[in-house]
Structure 1
Amino acid sequence: MWFVDDGRQFHAFYLKASRALIDPDRRHLRASVGHAVSDDLHTWTELADAFVPSDGPAFDDLAIWTGSVLRGPDGDWRLFYTGCSRARPEVQRISVARSRDLLTWTRDAGAPVLEADPTWYERLGDSAWDNETWRDPWVFRSGDEWHMLLTARARDGEPRGRGVVGHAVSTDLDRWDVRAPLSAPDTGFGQLEVLQLAEVEGRLVLLFSCLGAELSDGRRATDDRGGIWSLPVDSPTGPFDVGRATRLTDHRWYAGRLVEDRAGRWNLLAFRNEDDDGAFVGGIGDPVPVTWDGERLVLAGYDISSGMAPHARHRLTGE
C-alpha cells in the first residue's frame, strides 16, 4: 500500500484480491489496486478501483503490485507500479501510469519498462530464489534528480542475504538509468520489501519489510519472525547500512508506510498480516504515532517484546 496527500484529502492505494480465492497466498497473482480517501487517516471512503492488469499480451497483464504516487512538475500525478505477466509471472518490472485527478489512471504509452540490470542485480535463474526481484518503486526528488528505490537482489552473496536497495535515476521522470544498489548484500535480508524514505522529526529514516522466511540464517538465530524494519540514514541517496536496521513491528504487521497527518505528526499505517493466533487477516490498521528513541524509530506506546499488537482494528481490506 501507499499514500498521497493532495492537500485536501489523503489517498490510500492498496493491493486487493477477492476473498473467494480462499487461499491468501493466491492473492499475489490476482492483485489490482484499490483506492480510498480520508480526511483524518482514520475514517476511509472506498472509491472505484484505481488500476488493474492490462489486456494482454503485456508485461503487466497478470497482476499489479506495490508502487508509489507523486505529482510531477507538469501537474500530472504519476503512479509508478510493479507489473507481472502471464507469460513470465516470476519476473517483475516497473512502469508508470498518469492521472490528472488521482481517480482515472492511464498507462503512459511512451514510458519505458524498467528491468533489473544484470550488471548489479540478480536475474531469474541466477540462484534458487523463485522470482526475479525488482519491485515496489519508491520515487522522490533529491537535488536536480529523481531517484527510485527498489526491492532488489544482488548478484552475489548468501541466497537469503542478497536483498539490497535497488536504485535508478532520472532527470525528467520519463527516462530512467538503472544504477548500482545503495546498500550491500549479506546484511541478513533476502529482500527489502516496500521501501520508503521519510524525514521524521528532522531525521531521515528508511523503512522496509522482511518476514522470517526471507531472513538469513544468522539473523534468524536471534529473530526468526521479521516484520517491519527501520534504519536511520544520513543521506537520501545512501549508502545505506542495512545491517543496522531494527524491527519496528513484529510479523503480524507488514508493508508499513509512514504518513504525516494534518497536525504534523508522523504515523505508521500497516497491513495486518496475521492475528494473534497466526491466521491471515488482510486489512489496513489505524495509524499509530511514531517517534525516535535514541537511534531507533519506535511506535508510541508499543513494545515489541510484549506481544501487544498496535490498534488491532483494520479499516480497509487489502495490503
Structure 2
Amino acid sequence: MLILPDLWTWDFWTTEARGVHHLFFLMAPTALGDPDLRHQNARIGHATSTDLREWEFLGEVLRPGEPGAWDDFATWTGSVIPTEDGWHMYYTGASTKEDGLVQRIGRARSRDLHTWTKDDAFMVEMDPRWYEELDVSVWFDLTWRDPWVYYDDSVGEYRMLITARANAGAADARGVIGLARSADLESWEVLPPIASPGEFGHMEVPQLEQIGDRWYLIFSAYEWAHSADRTQRGLAVSGTHYLVGDASTGPFRLDSAEFFAGDPRGELYAGRIARAASGDPVFLAFLQFVDGGPFVGGLSDPFPIHVDDRGRLTIEPDPSWRATVPDELAATRSG
C-alpha cells in the first residue's frame, strides 16, 4: 500500500525493469483541502518496489508545461513502454487557454526511468471522423486521455488504447476505447474505436492484458458515467470492469454485466493488472475510501485474481487493505 503523508495519489501505471516495479501516478498536495481540486493541481510522481506492497517514493518526475504550452493546465494519466534507447512515457495533457477542456496525448523520454524530458514535438490528437469534438451541451470535455501503449506481436505494430467518446449515439452511452497505431512510435495513425459497448459515458484508464488464452480489456467508470439503460437495470456502480476477446485485436465484448471490482461508492477505482514475482496476475487500484471513511487518495495492496472455468475474473478477498488509515496520516485526509 502507498499512502503519502502530504499528498493525494490516484490514477497510476506501472512497468518493470530488472526485477523492480516502477510506479508512476498522479499526485496533488492534501493542503488543497478539497480532494476535488486535485485534478487541476496534478503532477506525476514515481515510486519503486520489489513486491508491489512496500514502495519507496522518489518524488515528482513530470509536471504541467510552462505558460502557453499545450499541457500547461495539467498532466494526467498515461503509460510507459521500453524502447531501444530507454523508455517512453505517454501521458494526457490539457491547456489553460482551453480551460482544461480539450485533452491531447503527449510524450516524455527517459534513459533510466528516473529523469524524464518532454518531447514537445510529439502529440496525438482526436480524429473527428470517429470521435466526439468538444460540445459542452453534450459532454463536459473533449475526452481523449489515458493512453495505454504496447507492442502487438500479432499485427507487428505498436498500439495505443485511449479513453474516448464516439461522435454519434446517445450522449450517456458514447464511451469507447479509442485506438491508434504506429510502426515506429513516432508517426501515429488514429483508427476507429477498438471497443464500443454503448453502455457508458466514458471508459477510463484502459489496459489490455492476456490471462490464459483470453484477452481482457480493463477500464473504469464512476456510477454517474453509466448509461440510463444500465442504471435502470440496477448495474450502476463505481469501479473497474473489463471486456473480453479471443485475440489482442478483438472483437471485445462484455462478458458479465456486473463490475468485477465495483461498489456504489467506488472504494477501489482505476484498477490495473500487474504481475507478481511468480508471474501470476494481481489487481492494484486507486484507493479512494476505506470502509466508508473519508477520501484517502492512495494505492491499494495487490489482490490475487481468480479466473473461473468460464474465464471470468474475480478478486480474491484480501483484508489487509481494509486496515484503518494510520493515525499519523488520518489528519491529512479530508472528511
Q: Report the TM-score, using the length of structure 1 for normalisation.
A: 0.91
Provide the residue aligned with 2:119 in structure 1: 108
Provide the residue aligned with 2:249 in structure 1: 237
* Letter matched to residue 286 of structure 2: F
Is contact 2:13–2:25 with CA below 8 Å preserved after alignment? yes
1:83 counterpart = 2:93 = yes
Is contact 2:209–2:217 with CA below 8 Å preserved after alignment? yes
3-state SS of 1:280 partner = coil
2:270 to 255, 267, 285: 255
1:233: how far off? 1.4
Instruction: Call closer, same or farther: CA 1:218–1:295 in 2, change over 3 Å.
Output: farther
* Letter matched to residue 151 of structure 1: T
1:1-319 correspondence runs (5 A): 1-72=12-83, 74-88=84-98, 89-111=100-122, 113-125=123-135, 127-142=137-152, 143-184=155-196, 186=198, 188-221=199-232, 222-242=234-254, 244=256, 246-250=258-262, 251-277=266-292, 279-293=294-308, 294-301=310-317, 311-313=321-323
1:268: how far off? 0.5
* Letter matched to residue 148 of structure 2: W
1:278: how far off? 5.7
Structure 1 segments of 4 or more deviating over 3 A? 242-246, 313-317
* Structure 1, unaligned runs of 5 or more: 303-308
Instruction: Call closer, same or farther: CA 1:7–1:265 in 2, change over 3 Å.
Output: same
Measured in 2, the distance between the counterparts of 1:227 and 1:38 equals 25
Q: Which moved more, 1:44-53 or 1:177-186?
A: 177-186
1:245: how far off? 5.5
1:244: how far off? 4.8
Is contact 1:127–1:159 with CA below 8 Å preserved after alignment? no
1:68: how far off? 0.3
Could you tell me the percent identity over the aligned residues? 42
Instruction: Call closer, same or farther: CA 1:226–1:243 in 2, change over 3 Å.
Output: farther
String of CA shifts for 1:22-63, please: whole Å, max 9, x gaps: 111111111110100001111100002111111121111111
1:242: how far off? 4.3
Is contact 1:76–1:99 with CA below 8 Å preserved after alignment? yes
Higher relative contact order (CA 8 A, sep 6+): 2
Q: How many residues align?
A: 309
